[in-house]
Amino acid sequence: MFRIALVAACFLLAVQSHPIEDLLQQPEEGGQIWAVIIAGSKNWYNYRHQSDVCHLYHLLTKKHGIPKKNVITFMYNDIAFNEENPHQGVIINALHGKDVYEGVMIDYMGKDVTPQLFLDVLMGKDMEFGSRKSLKSGPKDTVFVNFVDHGGPGVLGFPAGELHVADLTKTLQTMYMDKHYKQMLWYVEACYSGSMFDELSPDMNITAHTASNTKESSYACVKDEEMDVYLGDCWSLNWMNNTEQIYPNLSKETVEEQYEIVKNMTTHSHASIYGDLTYIYKEPISVFLGHPGSAIEVEPVSDWDYIYKPIPSQDVMMEYLKSKRDKSFDVEETEKLDAEIRYHILTEGKVQEVLDQISRQVTGSREMDTVFSRHPQTIAHPECNKGVLSAFFSQCYKMQTHPYITKYLYRLTNLCNAYNVKNIVSAVTDNCNCN
């Protein structure tokens, strides 16, 4: 109880107090820089997502000069004081061995980290939760959005829900029509993250960098052996590392240049870019990431036991369970972990069987089933994609508790390119109710 009270007190203090630098603005032709940063996961084995966001918060506010009142942070906040954390109250990121949790003002945490609340904040709606901060940007302002979590074809994960490409696209269109920004830059770390922006119009003054293309996993990197977790995501570590290497000269590297540099650094997934590749492409990254002063801050050299080990994000949970089981000397705990591992191994196979049954019911033949199961196709019907995946997540298996299922979800989304959404959802219901 004391720990919970302490965390709550620190949160309220952070929300209610703004240092004097927050009253200052870095004008860009009369506008301001706004940032919305979000870790969309929970649970200890997803440590890296909150670690990346905490590190970024300090980069944007402490080093890059963006006022804290202009940075809106979503984070479940179950890592720093997690019972498995040997360093209570501390979160570290792979780039440096220092604590990145201290001083982070979390505006929305726990049950408030939802897709709808995230979209409401983006649209600048008046909020009644958390810190009540919202994106109050206007036609002269630039907006930077960073999302870090799991993803699937046309979907991004949240602790207890999903953000679908259909809903994100509508929100971005509304923001554009309402002149809610001058230019907007998205950096998205998730599997299949390219599928969220593959059809993004180049005429809305939005550019999106993604950790992976439309058909592949993103990767976790840098394992801490003591804590048995990954401290960052490969692509996110690469772009933040590049930003720190050129600090404080952010005005001398363009969005295009950073994209090309980070794409070459990211060797296990295909970093991709979408949207406006004309104007924003040529802007200095300082337009979105802040205008540092001239004083260079030297970061301490890390003394933590890191192992650079890229792994598909979909497989991190299973590796964590197996590693924990190998290190366990408690018979009861070992038996429990063995049972959990067996469950997930069997479930991954069962998911593929269920998808076989759904596809055959919808297509009516093994031959057509083969066509739609061969490889991921473009998401041509986002509303169908949303309806089908929502049905599967609610009636079959959830992405948050079974992250490995994202390897196979394209088999459902492919069906939307040729079949009626009602028929597909009906097949999902029929086959999931039998399992």
Per-residue pLDDT of the chain (435 residues; tens, 9 = 90+): 434 444 444 444 443 333 333 433 344 467 999 999 999 999 999 999 999 999 999 999 999 999 999 999 999 999 999 999 999 999 998 766 789 999 999 999 999 999 999 999 999 999 998 999 999 999 999 999 999 999 999 999 999 999 999 999 999 999 999 999 999 999 999 999 999 999 999 999 999 999 999 999 999 999 998 899 999 999 999 999 999 999 999 999 999 999 999 999 999 999 999 999 999 999 999 999 998 865 545 554 444 445 678 999 999 999 999 999 999 999 999 999 999 999 999 999 999 999 999 999 999 887 777 878 888 889 999 999 999 999 999 999 999 999 999 999 999 999 999 999 999 999 999 999 654
Q: Which residues contact 310 (CB under 8 A, 6 or more apart)?
A: 219, 220, 221, 234, 267, 268
pLDDT at 434: 52
Is 136 exposed, middle or buried (CB count within 10 Å of its CB: 0-12, 13-18, 19+)? middle
Q: Residues of the chain with pLDDT > 70: what percent?
A: 89
Spatial neighbors of 403 by CB under 8 A, at least 6 apart, are 150, 313, 314, 316, 317
Nearest one of 52, 21, 29, 58 to 39, comparing CA atoms: 52
pLDDT, residue 367, reads 76
Whether the pTM exceeds 0.85: the reply is yes
pLDDT digits (tens, 9 = 90+) for 7-64: 444 444 443 333 333 433 344 467 999 999 999 999 999 999 999 999 999 999 999 9
Buried b (16+ CB within 10 A) or exposed e, 245-279: ebbbebeebbbbbbbebbbeebebbbbbbbbbeee
Structural domains of the chain in order of their starting residue, each with its CATH number: 2-307 (3.40.50.1460), 328-432 (1.10.132.130)
Which residues have a catalytic role annotated? Answer: 150, 191
Tell me what pLDDT residue 248 has: 92
